[in-house]
Amino acid sequence: MQALLLIDLQNDFCRYGALAVTDGNAVVPLANDLAARFDLVVATQDWHPADHGSFAANHLWSKPGQTIILDGLEQILWPVHCVQESFGAQFVNELNLENITEIFQKGTDPLIDSYSGFYDNGHRKSTGLAEYLKEKGVKTVYIAGLATDYCVKFTALDAVKEGFETYVIADTCRGVNLQADDSENALAEMRAAGAKIVQSSEVLSS
């Protein structure tokens, strides 16, 4: 059994969003085409409370891009984004939700961020995604979405650790790129960890 994991295809990571990823919208039509080809499609949703510790606005004298220690873990500070129930947290309008079987929300604990769809950044709590996929008999996961250098990367690294055969569909991902080569480095890291980097054309034609 194979599953497609669509990562954080939400307004705040797309055009005009609070944490807009360059060209983030461009992956949505591909994500829709891919979703139509899988029996099991799971979407993750960054879903923060307004007082989340990853928001620069919740710390005195802090700006997005700075790093702090949050409850013992290094944390990059971000603009306020994907606040629960807000427009920014909603899936982008162009995303076809019909083929999505299940949604896993993450980043709900104000004291810890969660880039991965599987675990928070301290591996303290599971979102339930690994258990869900295993219960469905999933052996192989394909991953696409936003952002290559954060949520896609950490989801892929956890997928490998959880024992899934892991494919990352590179052209169906876009990165934040705080540094220009962050996405390239992230793909290299995922490959080194055992994930296979593929293109959507290969998946759609198979």
Report DSSP state, residue 83: B
- The residue within the footprint of ligand VGL, chosen from 151, 156, 170, 186 (CB under 6 A), is 151
- Residue of 86, 79, 35, 94 lying closest to 176 (CA atoms): 79
Contacts (Cβ under 8 Å, ≥6 apart) of 84: 47, 48, 49, 50, 108
- Residue of 93, 80, 120 lying closest to 11 (CA atoms): 93
Identify whether 173 is a catalytic site residue. Answer: no
The CB-of-196 to ligand VGL minimum distance in angstroms stands at 21
The CB-of-178 to ligand VGL minimum distance in angstroms stands at 10
In a 10 Å sphere around its CB, with 0-12 CB exposed, 13-18 middle and 19+ buried, how is residue 126 labelled? middle
Where on the phi/psi map is residue 85: left (φ > 0), alpha (ψ -120 to 50), or beta?
left
Stretch near ligand VGL under the rule CB under 6 A, chosen from 60-68, 95-103, 126-134, 143-151: 143-151
The CB-of-200 to ligand VGL minimum distance in angstroms stands at 19
Binding flag, residue 47, ligand VGL (CB under 6 A): no
* Sign of CA pseudo-dihedral 186, 120, 165, 89: negative
What pairing do the DSSP bridges indicate for beta strands 102-106 and 73-76?
A: unpaired
Q: Which of residues 138 and 156 has its CB atom nearest to ligand VGL in the complex?
A: 156
Q: Which of residues 78 and 118 has its CB atom nearest to ligand VGL in the complex?
A: 78
Give the x-and-dash track for 115-134 against ligand VGL (CB under 6 A): x-------------------
The DSSP-derived string for 15-31 is TT-TTPPTTGGGGHHHH
- The residue within the footprint of ligand VGL, chosen from 3, 6, 8, 168 (CB under 6 A), is 8
Q: Which of residues 30 and 107 has its CB atom nearest to ligand VGL in the complex?
A: 107
Identify whether 71 is a catalytic site residue. Answer: no
Binding flag, residue 12, ligand VGL (CB under 6 A): no
Q: Position 98: which residue type?
A: E
CB atoms within 10 A of CB 33: 14
Binding flag, residue 83, ligand VGL (CB under 6 A): no
Q: Which of residues 13 and 142 has its CB atom nearest to ligand VGL in the complex?
A: 13
Catalytic residues: 8, 106, 151
Using CB under 6 A as the criterion, which residues of the chain lie in contact with ligand VGL when the complex forms?
A: 8, 13, 46, 78, 115, 146-147, 150-151
